Amino acid sequence: MILLLLVGARGLRIMRHPRKVPGKEWLLFSILVWLCILTRHINATLAGLIPLAFFLLSAHRLILIPFTRSQLLGRWRRLQATQALQKATLAIVVGISCIVLANVSARGLCHAVEIPYHSTVGFTFLFRLKFLAGLPAERRNQLLDKVAKNTDSADVKKHHFATA
């Protein structure tokens, strides 16, 4: 949870920079996002929040340009919108890099300790399989046969054939 608060604080700091954001800010932000993704894969959505915020900010500034009475203010808003789009592009690159680095890190750590890597996405939803108990035996077996045919997991195949 503390990492999420730090990412939010660092993201707000990046958003508030009037011009070019220093590389140190981006580096700290990317390290925090990387660590958040390593703790929970769903935190990869954080990689898209800053670019989204910059795109919305840029769109807001572009929408206001036709309603400005002064040419100087119009140019200033156009410059701000352009800077926000540039920051959004950099934020997209940082976000994708964090996601890739987190994936490579997890795979590398598994390889280093000689544990086969497998995604945990499917295992996250195992608790939802309680609905199988309420199915008739014939329908449940059909569903389990279909799952066993479409998986590479040795555990699923072992359990399926042990019960069959």
Of the residues 70, 89, 112, which one is the last residue of a structural domain? 112
Shortest CA distance to 53 belongs to which of 108, 109, 24, 95? 95
Band (28; pLDDT cuts 50, 70, 90): very high
What is the CA angle 146-147-153, rounded to 5? 140
Same domain, 149 and 81: no
Helix (H) or strand (E) holding 110: helix 71-112
What is the CA angle 55-21-42, rounded to 5? 55
d(CA 19, CA 110): 41
For the chain, what is the domain count? 2
Same domain, 158 and 97: no
Answer yes or no: is pLDDT of 88 > 70: yes
d(CA 71, CA 79): 12
Answer yes or no: is pLDDT of 163 > 70: no
pLDDT tens string 52-71: 988 998 899 889 888 888 88
* Total residues belonging to the chain: 164
Q: Domain range spanning residue 33?
A: 2-112
d(CA 39, CA 34): 9
User: How high is the pLDDT of residue 93?
Assistant: 92
Same domain, 67 and 128: no
Give the predicted TM-score (pTM) of the model: 0.65
* Secondary structure tally for the chain: helices H, strands E: 7, 0
pLDDT tens string 100-132: 998 899 889 888 998 887 766 655 566 666 677
